[in-house]
């Protein structure tokens, strides 16, 4: 052997454990003088040790197979080196014996590299003692170091190679190796396969101390696994590069393929089309042969619907109760919560043309009172919206916020973006927020407590919604009163009676496993929240309402309000049509009471709005013309029913608004709620627009513009919020 030559003797398993000699002395087979030929950090990073020397030769042991960097380090010692094989645990024990204390502390490595000040490490250690978790993740989450800084320190600490997957010089994982495990394995364990050869699988990991992942992959593949270190965002980038097309296909087609009858991709089923044609034919025949009787029967059906919806909503007042049946969590219970026990939580925020409200979003996310090392935020932006993408990248977003650019594909809807984000979610629980939302800071903690209190069939905790700009103008006051009626009276009442709950579009907290089990959101339904609430109930899950509020921006402009309201109403129409494809099956799935509630909440709400202008037109025609036709259409029983509905429904719906206002404590809105019938008069405009779009553009997502308010959310004090 010549100087600098390295002979690899991989079949020779070297045992460097101390032993007792014949005379009883303890003998360490490692020659300390030989070991000190190499700096401890180099030996740890290269995963080897020089354990003996003779005048002409050195002997080393390495975890197999030795990396090129390891062989180069040994060749530079100037003597021939024979390299044998050692198990990783055995090598770790040797390093600890040699250099006392094992691995260097992570905080010390980061401080020594100038990445963080010693006092910041001390503060992070204090947070770690209080909240649990990992020191490095605390430092990253607080913005003290970057993900890549942490990866460099972890690699030095573990004595492993550091691999860049993102830059132009980065390593590209071979696509074929991803088949060794499913996407869930790589995503949840934050690792990607890097190379395979000679029975060795090189695995790029964020956390190389995760021995369970190494063992699981070795058991699954039959290969020896050699870890290397990479960064958190490197893994996200590699996974998205490989799974992008698959994730996109799943986000648009998963529900339609798995449960086609639950998908709004087809607006009307064949049976519904035939039923609609039959009803249209029957109506045409009736109008031709007995027009007066046919119109009277149609009006009787409309008034019967009015009466049913009216009685249902009045019954809900009693169910809501004075104190409220929703899940209530005392602040003392939140304060006493063991933060170390809190699980990972994912926040999904879908934003499209939302440059104006991104600063509000950044402040709201920073204000969330949850251990930041277990908080994962996916900001879902569209690839064809460069303005919002560039604005988001220019913001100083917290390190736990990942910008996810959703590839363009039809349908262009919020639920499709949410599905794409869900594919990347690692949290045990998951919540949806809109870009302009201001959730109460402790809402995530309250949701965890609510889930822990609830039986296993509870898959969703719905927080309440209200508006921070309630006092901006008359429209926002009415809108706020309506939200108080919906979220403080009707939904808690449905919760109390264990009836299906049409979810609000934001602040739904889910068990992530249950959300995936029911097929995610329907990307073709523009009221994906209401639809998901029905699907959860059909499949045996429950939703509860939690007494925690998220504040949003109320539409302060009429045309923008019509766009938003028509999308909501169209979505309710879609949801009713989808779930009524098999009425008898739906009856069995929801039960009789649930079936009735579905008809009156989801079907009855848009139906009332569509019918109302027809009844108003008849009333107006009577007063203007005194035409004999109008009274002929209303025989005495129908006349008195109509009169009752007109008088009592206006009183009842106004009263519902007032109950909601009282429960929210927004007493200043009472005088405006008394004029709510004027607000209801503009709702049919949106309803008829929605009906037209159900036929012509069923999956078109009519964008609501935010950031129109003159009231800045940070200036809206809690006492001024409804």
Domains of the chain and CATH, by start: 6-99 (3.30.300.160), 106-239 (3.30.300.160), 300-720 (3.90.550.10)
Strand partners, 200: 197, 224
Measured in whole angstroms, how far is the alpha carbon of residue 321 from the centre of its chain?
A: 32
Q: Which two tokens stand for residue 533?
A: 């609430």
- The answer, yes or no, to whether residue 719 has pLDDT greater than 60, is no
Q: Which two tokens stand for residue 224?
A: 């020896």
Residue 82 — φ and ψ, nearest 5°?
Answer: -105, 125
Q: What is the C-alpha to C-alpha distance for residues 465 and 470, in angstroms, rounded to an integer? A: 12
- The answer, yes or no, to whether residue 380 has pLDDT greater than 60, is yes
| Confidence at residue 100, expressed as pLDDT on a 0 to 100 scale | 60
Distances (CA, A) of 529 to 26, 258, 483, 513, 629: 70, 19, 16, 17, 43
Q: What is the C-alpha to C-alpha distance for residues 600 and 494, in angstroms, rounded to an integer? A: 12
Contact 465, 548 (CB under 8 A): no
| Entry pTM | 0.83
The backbone region for 222, taken as left when phi is positive above 0, alpha when psi lies in -120 to 50, beta otherwise, is: left
| Confidence at residue 55, expressed as pLDDT on a 0 to 100 scale | 79
Across 226-249, b (16+ Cβ under 10 Å) vs e yields bbbbbbbbbbbbbbbebbeeebbe
Burial of residue 640 (CB within 10 Å: 0-12, 13-18, 19+) is exposed
Percent of the chain with pLDDT over 90: 48
Distances (CA, A) of 114 to 110, 126, 459, 606: 6, 20, 46, 62
Q: List the 429-434 sheet strands across, edge first.
A: 401-406, 375-382, 345-351, 429-434, 508-511, 458-467, 542-552, 438-439
- The answer, yes or no, to whether residue 360 has pLDDT greater than 70, is yes
Q: What is the C-alpha to C-alpha distance for residues 269 and 500, in angstroms, rounded to an integer? A: 23
| Confidence at residue 75, expressed as pLDDT on a 0 to 100 scale | 83
Strand partners, 52: 59
275, containing H or E segment: helix 270-289
Q: Which two tokens stand for residue 602?
A: 């989801």
Q: Which two tokens stand for residue 213?
A: 């992942």
- Three-class SS of residue 102? coil
Contact 4, 80 (CB under 8 A): yes
- Three-class SS of residue 1? coil
Q: Span 593-603, mean pLDDT?
A: 93
Residue 182 — φ and ψ, nearest 5°?
Answer: -85, 170
Q: What is the C-alpha to C-alpha distance for residues 419 and 382, in angstroms, rounded to an integer? A: 13
| Confidence at residue 700, expressed as pLDDT on a 0 to 100 scale | 86
- The answer, yes or no, to whether residue 577 has pLDDT greater than 90, is yes
Q: What is the pLDDT of residues 492-541, one digit of tens each?
A: 999 988 999 999 989 999 999 999 999 999 999 999 999 999 999 999 99
The candidate with the shortest Cα–Cα distance to 196, out of 176, 214, 181, 210, is 176
Residue 626 — very low, low, confident or very high, per pLDDT cuts 50/70/90? low
Q: What is the pLDDT of residues 192-201, one digit of tens each?
A: 999 988 778 8
Q: Span 279-299, mean pLDDT?
A: 88
Residue 478 — very low, low, confident or very high, per pLDDT cuts 50/70/90? very high
Residue 102 — very low, low, confident or very high, per pLDDT cuts 50/70/90? low
DSSP secondary structure string for all residues of 541-583: -EEEEEEEEEEEPPP-SHHHHHHHHHHHHHHHHHHHHHHTSSH
Q: Span 36-58, mean pLDDT?
A: 82
| Confidence at residue 219, expressed as pLDDT on a 0 to 100 scale | 86
| Confidence at residue 257, expressed as pLDDT on a 0 to 100 scale | 92
| Confidence at residue 375, expressed as pLDDT on a 0 to 100 scale | 95
Q: What is the C-alpha to C-alpha distance for residues 566 and 578, in angstroms, rounded to an integer? A: 18
| Confidence at residue 718, expressed as pLDDT on a 0 to 100 scale | 47
In terms of pLDDT, which residue wins out, 442 or 10?
442
The candidate with the shortest Cα–Cα distance to 430, out of 416, 412, 418, is 418
- The answer, yes or no, to whether residue 711 has pLDDT greater than 90, is no
Residue 2 — very low, low, confident or very high, per pLDDT cuts 50/70/90? low
Q: What is the pLDDT of residues 332-359, one digit of tens each?
A: 999 999 898 999 999 999 999 999 889 9
The CA angle 452-134-63, to the nearest 5 degrees, is 125
Residue 68 — very low, low, confident or very high, per pLDDT cuts 50/70/90? confident
| CB proximity list for 555: less than 8 A, separation 6 or greater | 475, 476, 479, 561, 564, 704, 708
**Half-sphere exposure in the Cβ direction for 98 (13 Å, CA):** 28
E-only strand ranges, 150-251: 191-197, 200-205, 224-229
In terms of pLDDT, which residue wins out, 135 or 430?
430
Q: State the distance between the two ends of the chain, measured CA to CA, in whole angstroms.
A: 84
Q: What is the C-alpha to C-alpha distance for residues 16 and 22, in angstroms, rounded to an integer? A: 18
In terms of pLDDT, which residue wins out, 455 or 715?
455
| Confidence at residue 209, expressed as pLDDT on a 0 to 100 scale | 82
Strand partners, 85: 13, 62
Mean pLDDT, all residues of the chain: 88
Q: Span 259-263, mean pLDDT?
A: 93
Contact 581, 698 (CB under 8 A): no
Residue 327 — φ and ψ, nearest 5°?
Answer: -70, 120
Contact 544, 688 (CB under 8 A): no
Count CB-CB contacts under 10 A for residue 644: 14
Contact 263, 255 (CB under 8 A): yes
Distances (CA, A) of 270 to 284, 319, 483, 570, 585: 21, 39, 36, 20, 17
The CA angle 706-712-718, to the nearest 5 degrees, is 110
Q: Span 695-720, mean pLDDT?
A: 73
Measured in whole angstroms, how far is the alpha carbon of residue 267 from the centre of its chain?
A: 27
Give the highest mean pLDDT range of 94-98, 172-176, 546-550, 630-634: 546-550
Percent of the chain with pLDDT over 70: 94
Q: Which two tokens stand for residue 404?
A: 């996810």
- Three-class SS of residue 705? coil
Contact 376, 402 (CB under 8 A): yes
Q: What is the pLDDT of residues 144-198, one digit of tens each?
A: 999 999 999 988 887 788 999 987 566 788 999 999 999 999 999 999 999 988 7
Indicate the angle between helix axes 583-598 and 528-538, nearest 10 degrees.
Answer: 120
């Amino acid at each position: 052997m010549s100087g600098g030559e390295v002979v690899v003797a991989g079949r020779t398993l070297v045992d460097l454990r101390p032993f007792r000699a014949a005379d009883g002395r303890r003998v360490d087979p490692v020659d300390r003088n030989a070991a000190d030929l190499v700096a401890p950090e180099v030996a740890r990073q290269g995963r080897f040790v020089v354990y003996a020397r003779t005048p002409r030769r050195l002997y080393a042991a390495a975890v197999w197979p030795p990396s090129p960097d390891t062989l180069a380090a040994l060749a530079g010692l100037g003597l021939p080196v024979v390299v044998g094989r050692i198990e990783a645990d055995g090598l770790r024990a040797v390093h600890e014996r040699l250099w006392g204390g094992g691995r260097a502390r992570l905080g010390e490595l980061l401080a020594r590299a100038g990445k963080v000040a010693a006092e910041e490490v001390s503060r992070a250690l204090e947070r770690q003692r209080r909240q649990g978790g990992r020191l490095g993740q605390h430092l990253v989450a607080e913005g003290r170091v970057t993900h890549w800084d942490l990866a460099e320190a972890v690699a030095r600490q573990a004595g492993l190679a550091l691999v860049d997957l993102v830059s132009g010089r980065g390593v590209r994982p071979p696509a074929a190796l991803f088949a060794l495990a499913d996407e869930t394995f790589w995503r949840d364990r934050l690792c990607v396969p890097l190379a395979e050869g000679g029975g060795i699988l090189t695995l790029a990991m964020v956390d190389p101390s995760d021995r369970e992942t190494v063992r699981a992959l070795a058991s699954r593949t039959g290969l020896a696994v050699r870890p290397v270190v990479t960064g958190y965002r490197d893994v996200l980038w590699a996974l998205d590069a490989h799974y992008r097309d698959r994730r996109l296909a799943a986000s648009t087609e998963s529900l339609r393929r798995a449960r086609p009858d639950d998908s709004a991709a087809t607006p009307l089923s064949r049976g519904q089309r035939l039923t609609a044609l039959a009803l249209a034919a029957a109506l045409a025949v009736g109008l031709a042969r007995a027009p007066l009787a046919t119109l009277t029967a149609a009006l009787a059906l409309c008034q019967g619907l009015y009466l049913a919806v009216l009685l249902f909503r009045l019954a809900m007042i009693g169910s809501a109760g004075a104190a409220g049946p929703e899940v209530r969590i005392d602040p003392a219970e939140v304060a006493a919560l063991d933060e170390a026990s809190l699980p990972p939580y994912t926040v999904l925020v879908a934003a499209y043309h939302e440059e104006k409200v991104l600063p509000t979003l950044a402040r709201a996310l920073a204000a969330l009172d949850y251990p930041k090392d277990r908080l994962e935020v996916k900001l879902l932006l569209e690839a064809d919206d460069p303005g919002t993408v560039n604005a988001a990248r220019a913001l100083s977003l917290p390190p736990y916020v990942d910008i996810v650019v959703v590839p363009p594909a039809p349908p262009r809807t919020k639920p499709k973006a949410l599905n794409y984000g869900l594919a990347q979610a690692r949290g045990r629980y998951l919540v949806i927020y809109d870009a302009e939302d201001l959730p109460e800071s402790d809402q995530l903690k309250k949701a965890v407590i609510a889930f822990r209190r609830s039986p296993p069939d509870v898959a969703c905790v719905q927080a309440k919604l209200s508006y921070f700009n309630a006092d901006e103008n008359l429209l926002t006051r009415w809108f706020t009163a309506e939200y108080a009626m919906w979220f403080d009276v009707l939904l808690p009442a449905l919760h109390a009676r264990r009836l299906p709950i049409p979810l609000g579009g934001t602040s739904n907290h889910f068990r992530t496993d249950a959300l995936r089990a029911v097929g995610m959101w329907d990307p073709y339904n523009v009221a994906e929240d209401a639809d998901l609430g029905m699907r959860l109930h059909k499949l045996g899950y429950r939703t509860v309402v939690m007494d925690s509020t998220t504040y949003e921006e109320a539409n302060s402009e009429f045309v923008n309000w019509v766009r938003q309201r028509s999308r909501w109403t169209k979505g309710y129409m879609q949801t009713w049509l989808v779930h009524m494809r098999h009425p008898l099956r739906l009856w069995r799935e929801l039960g009789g009471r649930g079936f009735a509630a579905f008809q009156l909440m989801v079907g009855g709400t848009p139906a009332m709005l569509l019918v109302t202008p027809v009844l108003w037109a008849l009333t107006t025609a009577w007063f203007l013309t005194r035409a004999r036709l109008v009274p002929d259409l209303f025989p005495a029983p129908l006349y008195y029913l109509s009169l009752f509905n007109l008088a009592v429904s206006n009183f009842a719906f106004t009263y519902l608004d007032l109950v909601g206002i009282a429960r929210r404590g927004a007493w200043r809105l009472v005088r405006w709620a008394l004029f709510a019938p004027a607000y209801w008069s503009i709702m049919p405009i949106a309803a008829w627009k929605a009906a037209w779009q159900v036929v012509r553009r069923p999956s078109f997502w009519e964008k609501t513009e935010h950031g129109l308010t003159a009231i800045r959310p940070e200036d809206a004090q809690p006492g001024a919020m409804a």
